Chains A and B, each alone.
Chain A
Amino acid sequence: MSGMNIKSLLTLVLVVASVSLFAQADNHTDSSHEQAAQSENSHETDNHDDQDAHSTEGHHDECAFHHEQDPENFNPQQIAFHHIADANVYSIGPLQLPLPCILYSKESGWDIFLSNKFEFDRLGHGAGYKAFNRYVLDGGSVKRIADASFPGGSVAIEGFKHKEIVVDGKKKEEAYICYGGNEYKLDAKSTLDGGMFGGGITSFHDFSITKNVTAMILVTLFLMWMFLSIASAYKKREGMAPKGLQGFIEPVFTFMNDEVVEPFLGKKSLTYLPFIMALFFFILGLNLFGQIPFFGGANVTGSLSVTLVLAVITFLVVNFSGKKDYWQHIFWMPGVPAWVKTILTPVEMLGVFIKPLTLMLRLFANITAGHIVIIIFVSLIFIFGKVGTVPAAGYGAAVGSTVLTLFMMSIELLVAFIQAFVFAILTASYIGAAVEEHHH
């Protein structure tokens, strides 16, 4: 009975999703002709207005909330980057849900509100029709109007405009909003890369409960509930055979304990077991959660910020538990000629930092790559169907894309486990090396 219900529900979801996708594509094609005509006009006026270094092109220079898709400007890379990015809205299928925004700027201090203040479409892509206290929602993420002359409070805006400029030979995109006949430049939130990846400190900081943070909270609450109930089952059913959830998790737990924690940490395993297990289940839970289709697909473990935190915590745990032997092996390797030590010491010192760095990058790259590949496979439908203008080819590509996506998803399922395992086993080996006592 229940199997039937689930099946029919799934079919319904798929039908709704595909209908809405194709409906959107059709809308796009209907309006793209008008838009094209419009854009030609505005293109000319723009060129007359400002003929500076800005290389403007196509739809960029029109103020709109929805930039239309056509076969020429369909860019799967941008779609992929949008989908793996963090956002201030949570999307379940095409549905967009508001999330709390916690924003700080030097000028106006803290602003805390729900992101539906931006009045974005419930079934859209996160473009807010209103600005609030000089913050706007562009492509799902909060941006700030840099110009202090822009009014505070809730203000209806006229649209967004994206320009591609060249700074020092690098292409860079700038976003603007149109309001009262003027264009106002938007600042993206501050990032800590120091300009290395095109970010940097801007006029505001975003401490919001974003999509990734929401996913993290959901997964953590679920894991807490699961493990606390399992722990109580061990207390209540002491000396009895495992049952239910307990029996489901126990093999995984035992595997991690016997293959990862015990071999590397030996007598100290009970001290470090909570950390290794927390890492493993936290990463695994988030890896798997990000792969649930139509459920946000939050790319949490594919964000460098998240893997950075995990790697830094690992770094701290490893080095704070480092014994005399560990530091001796780094700074003055025993049993090695002095001239070798002059080479070995710098290498070992670099290794202290490279180890967590590789942990950070490996997890980030694997999960992000998986998400991107799946999005690109789905995009194949729109590339072959020329964004709805050639539906037959689109349907054909949908069949191939489904097969490829299914294949990729099963691989990603494997990767989710492997990466969580690899992170945990490497952490265990680093801690193991740090607490080991050598006997020469």
Chain B
Amino acid sequence: MLYLVDFSVIKPDAGLIFWTALIFLIFWFTVGKLAFKPIAQALKKREFDIQNALDEAGKARAEMQNLNAENERLITEARAERALLLKEASDTKNEIIAEAKLKAKEEAKKLLEHAKVEIDNQKNAAIAEVKNKVGMMALDIAEKVLRKELKGNKEQEVFVNQLVDDIKLN
């Protein structure tokens, strides 16, 4: 037999009990107070912080979505307004063009009328002048005829005809 030892671990030993109790109690109170509790609190706080951060991120995302929707709405509204404005502008343009055309026509008509009146006036003046000139010529002719009458009838007749032809040529 190498050693005389029995199953000694099962025998409660006052020395070991004393030291175990002392060491365990010291361990419990110091590490419990200085480490386990602060660690647990720090972990709890961090857990809380992480949850908060996640919640806030979720909220921010929701807000972002709302904002996007609002933007979308504004853009569509702006587009519609632009379309409306463009349409109005083109309408106004057409109106203006139409009015301008109308005015131009009227103006042209007036001008034509003026021109006609002028032309008539000129014509009448010209006719009056022609009449005057014909009268003058007739008088001339008559004068000349009268002077020729003194020379012969036949010759008078040729002469008058020649005069008449002259008038026609004019």
Answer whether A and B are interacting partners: yes
Does B11 lie at the interface of the complex (its beta carbon under 8 Å from any beta carbon of A)? yes
Task: Determine if B20 and A79 form an interchain contact, defined as CB atoms under 8 angstroms apart.
Answer: no
Q: A81-B5, A85-B5, A192-B12 are in contact. Are A227 and B31 (CB under 8 A)?
A: yes
Task: Determine if A193 and B12 form an interchain contact, defined as CB atoms under 8 angstroms apart.
Answer: yes
Of A59, A85, A141, which one neighbours B9 at CB under 8 angstroms?
Answer: A85
- Complex: A385 Cα to B19 Cα, angstroms: 41
Task: Point out the residues of chain A lying under 8 angstroms from B31, CB to CB.
Answer: 223-224, 227-228, 274, 277-278, 281
Does A313 lie at the interface of the complex (its beta carbon under 8 Å from any beta carbon of B)? yes
Does A310 lie at the interface of the complex (its beta carbon under 8 Å from any beta carbon of B)? yes
Task: Determine if B42 and A235 form an interchain contact, defined as CB atoms under 8 angstroms apart.
Answer: yes
Task: Point out the residues of chain A lying under 8 angstroms from B30, CB to CB.
Answer: 224
Task: Determine if B43 and A306 form an interchain contact, defined as CB atoms under 8 angstroms apart.
Answer: no
Task: Point out the residues of chain A lying under 8 angstroms from B20, CB to CB.
Answer: 213, 216, 305-306, 309-310
Of B7, B15, B24, B33, which one neighbours A282 at CB under 8 angstroms?
Answer: B24
Task: Point out the residues of chain B lying under 8 angstroms from A310, CB to CB.
Answer: 20, 24
Instruction: Give the interface SS of chain B, mostly helix, strand, loop or mixed.
Output: helix
Does A133 lie at the interface of the complex (its beta carbon under 8 Å from any beta carbon of B)? no
Does A254 lie at the interface of the complex (its beta carbon under 8 Å from any beta carbon of B)? yes
Task: Determine if A224 and B27 form an interchain contact, defined as CB atoms under 8 angstroms apart.
Answer: yes
Q: Which residue of B lies closest to A192 (CB)?
A: B12
Does B169 lie at the interface of the complex (its beta carbon under 8 Å from any beta carbon of A)? no
Does B34 lie at the interface of the complex (its beta carbon under 8 Å from any beta carbon of A)? yes
Does B46 lie at the interface of the complex (its beta carbon under 8 Å from any beta carbon of A)? yes
- Complex: A279 Cα to B67 Cα, angstroms: 55
Does A303 lie at the interface of the complex (its beta carbon under 8 Å from any beta carbon of B)? yes
Task: Determine if B39 and A189 form an interchain contact, defined as CB atoms under 8 angstroms apart.
Answer: no
A294-311 at interface with B (beta carbon < 8 Å):
299, 302-306, 308-310
Task: Point out the residues of chain B lying under 8 angstroms from A107, CB to CB.
Answer: none
Does A421 lie at the interface of the complex (its beta carbon under 8 Å from any beta carbon of B)? no
Task: Determine if B42 and A308 form an interchain contact, defined as CB atoms under 8 angstroms apart.
Answer: no
Of A223, A235, A239, which one neighbours B27 at CB under 8 angstroms?
Answer: A223
Minimal beta-carbon separation of B69 from chain A (angstroms): 34
Could you give, for residues 1-33 of chain B, a 1 whenever the CB lies within 8 Å of some chain A CB and a 0 otherwise? 111111111111111111111011111101111
Task: Determine if B35 and A213 form an interchain contact, defined as CB atoms under 8 angstroms apart.
Answer: no
Task: Determine if B35 and A305 form an interchain contact, defined as CB atoms under 8 angstroms apart.
Answer: no
Task: Point out the residues of chain B lying under 8 angstroms from A277, CB to CB.
Answer: 31-32, 36
Task: Point out the residues of chain A lying under 8 angstroms from B21, CB to CB.
Answer: 309, 313
- Complex: A84 Cα to B3 Cα, angstroms: 13
Task: Point out the residues of chain B lying under 8 angstroms from A208, CB to CB.
Answer: 15
Task: Point out the residues of chain B lying under 8 angstroms from A212, CB to CB.
Answer: 16
Q: A67-B2, A212-B16, A275-B28 are in contact. Are A197 and B11 (CB under 8 A)?
A: yes
Minimal beta-carbon separation of B17 from chain A (angstroms): 5
Instruction: Give the interface SS of chain A, mostly helix, strand, loop or mixed.
Output: helix
Q: Which residue of B lies closest to A234 (CB)?
A: B42
A207-235 at interface with B (beta carbon < 8 Å):
207-210, 212-213, 216-217, 220, 223-224, 227-228, 230-231, 234-235
Task: Determine if B24 and A257 form an interchain contact, defined as CB atoms under 8 angstroms apart.
Answer: no
Task: Determine if A102 and B15 form an interchain contact, defined as CB atoms under 8 angstroms apart.
Answer: yes
Task: Point out the residues of chain A lying under 8 angstroms from B39, CB to CB.
Answer: 227, 230-231, 234, 253
Does A364 lie at the interface of the complex (its beta carbon under 8 Å from any beta carbon of B)? yes
Task: Determine if B16 and A278 form an interchain contact, defined as CB atoms under 8 angstroms apart.
Answer: no
Task: Determine if B43 and A250 form an interchain contact, defined as CB atoms under 8 angstroms apart.
Answer: yes
Of B10, B25, B34, B49, which one neighbours A197 at CB under 8 angstroms?
Answer: B10
Q: A85-B8, A230-B35 are in contact. Are A257 and B43 (CB under 8 A)?
A: yes
We find that the number of chain A residues with CB closer than 8 angstroms to chain B is 77
Task: Determine if B3 and A78 form an interchain contact, defined as CB atoms under 8 angstroms apart.
Answer: yes
Task: Determine if B3 and A305 form an interchain contact, defined as CB atoms under 8 angstroms apart.
Answer: no
Does B40 lie at the interface of the complex (its beta carbon under 8 Å from any beta carbon of A)? yes
Does B110 lie at the interface of the complex (its beta carbon under 8 Å from any beta carbon of A)? no
Q: Which residue of B lies closest to A226 (CB)?
A: B35
Task: Determine if A82 and B23 form an interchain contact, defined as CB atoms under 8 angstroms apart.
Answer: no
- Complex: A79 Cα to B32 Cα, angstroms: 39
- Complex: A216 Cα to B21 Cα, angstroms: 11
- Complex: A242 Cα to B12 Cα, angstroms: 42
Q: Which residue of B lies closest to A138 (CB)?
A: B4
Task: Point out the residues of chain A lying under 8 angstroms from B101, CB to CB.
Answer: none
Could you give, for residues 246-273 of chain A, a 1 whenever the CB lies within 8 Å of some chain B CB and a 0 otherwise? 0000100110010000000000001001
Q: Which residue of B lies closest to A217 (CB)?
A: B23
Of A197, A227, A304, which one neighbours B36 at CB under 8 angstroms?
Answer: A227
Does B58 lie at the interface of the complex (its beta carbon under 8 Å from any beta carbon of A)? no
Q: A138-B4, A217-B23, A223-B27 are in contact. List 16 more A-B contacts (CB 8 A).
A: A69-B2, A81-B5, A84-B9, A141-B8, A160-B4, A173-B4, A191-B11, A191-B12, A191-B13, A197-B10, A207-B15, A212-B16, A253-B43, A274-B31, A274-B32, A274-B37
20 chain-A/chain-B pairs, Cβ below 8 angstroms: A58-B1, A60-B1, A79-B2, A162-B4, A191-B8, A191-B11, A192-B17, A198-B6, A205-B14, A206-B14, A208-B15, A213-B19, A228-B31, A231-B34, A257-B40, A277-B31, A281-B31, A305-B17, A306-B20, A313-B21
Q: Which residues of B contact A (CB under 8 A)?
A: 1-21, 23-28, 30-43, 46, 49
Instruction: Give 5 closest A-B pairs by Cβ, nearest first.
Output: A274-B32, A227-B35, A191-B11, A234-B42, A305-B16
